[in-house]
Amino acid sequence: MKTTNGSPRGTINKNARIAGLIYFLYFVTHIISDVVRDGLVVAGDAAATTSNILGNEGLFTITAVGDLVAAALFALSAWALYVLLKPVNKNLALLFLLLNLGGVAIQCSSDVLLFASPLLLNASGYLKVIQVDQLQALAMFFLNLREKGFLISQLFYGAWLFPLGYLVFKSGFLPKVLGIVLMVHCFTWLSTFFQSLLFPGFVAITYVSWPLGFIAEVGLTLWLLIMGAREQKPALVEVG
């Protein structure tokens, strides 16, 4: 069934900029938390990693909290995009919202593991019966387990890109090329997900998926934040 989109131009533009702002804040929070924490974690070296964490425990905890805040911002950005794109097709908008929330739930559950390392390394109370090198190994184990959990969330973060891209393409007030790139990025990101779990040594796909992801999601974020929803003639849109 087709219907004419009667949403006021000003409302659409406002919703677009709100979505762009929240999406931008998500990117900033997520990137800063990841970069700072990556500077503390030394791959394959439990002793060096735990030394860095103990020497910068407050900073490490901030990165863990930053990850949780980023997850909340990502969910809010998905909600803002749902409000923006719901008039195009309500069912598909609900689909990408639910996929996003599924990924956020897994990410938050995984981020809880980040708090395990400082607890282990401080070795208070009952943990004192465990040797230091064993505590260090356990701390590294939980960090690696958290990375696996975050990787699992990418299945949902990849899948949500297709319905999102389709609605961007069909919206009539956002660039069609962004919608196409988002849909293509869905498949490259899912390929990266399966490659990371099944063929961790084969990283060639990331040479395509990472740049494409930057163009797709950062491009959409900046367009929403700076340009908003461009004015066009009233378009026929789909109703779920």
DSSP per-residue letters across 45-93: -HHHHHHHHHHTHHHHHHHHHHHHHHHHHHHHHHHHHHHHHTTT-HHHH
Q: What is the mean pLDDT of the chain?
A: 88
Please indicate, yes or no, if residue 94 is contained in any of the structural domains: yes
Confidence class for position 122, pLDDT limits 50, 70, 90: confident
Residue 114 burial by Cβ neighbours in a 10 Å radius (0-12, 13-18, 19+)? buried
Q: Quickly state the pLDDT bin for 228 (edges 50, 70, 90).
A: confident
Is residue 162 within 8 A of residue 227, CB to CB? The reply is no
Is residue 208 assigned to a domain? yes
What does the pLDDT read at residue 234?
A: 43
- pLDDT of 214 higher than 90: no
Is residue 33 domain-resident?
yes
Residue 66 confidence class, pLDDT cut points 50, 70, 90: very high
Cα separation values, 94 from 99, 164, 167, 174, Å: 9, 10, 11, 19
Neighbours of 27 (CB within 10 A): 18
Question: What are the residue ranges of helices labelled H in 127-205?
Answer: 132-159, 161-171, 176-198
Residue 52 placed within a domain: yes
Residue 67 pLDDT > 60, yes or no? Answer: yes
At residue 120 the predicted structure's pLDDT band, cuts being 50, 70 and 90, is: confident
Is position 240 within any domain?
Answer: no
Q: Tell whether the model's pLDDT for residue 110 goes beyond 60.
A: yes
- Dihedral, CA atoms, 71, 76, 77, 79, nearest 10 degrees? 130
133, with CB counted inside 10 A (0-12, 13-18, 19+), is exposed
For residue 161, the model assigns a pLDDT of 96
Q: Which pLDDT does position 211 carry in this prediction?
A: 86
Q: Which residue has the higher pLDDT, 203 or 63?
A: 63
Q: Is residue 237 part of a domain?
A: no
Domain range for residue 75? 7-231
Higher pLDDT, 164 or 118: 164
CB 139 within 8 A of CB 120: yes
Annotate 195-227 with b (16+ C-beta within 10 A) or e (fewer).
Answer: bbeeeeeeeebeeebeebbebbbebbbebbbee
123 is a domain residue: yes
Q: In whole angstroms, what is the distance from residue 121 CA to residue 131 CA?
A: 10
Total domains present in the chain: 1
Does the pLDDT of residue 33 top 50, yes or no?
Answer: yes
Q: Is pLDDT at 9 greater than 70 in this prediction? A: no
In a domain, 236, yes or no: no
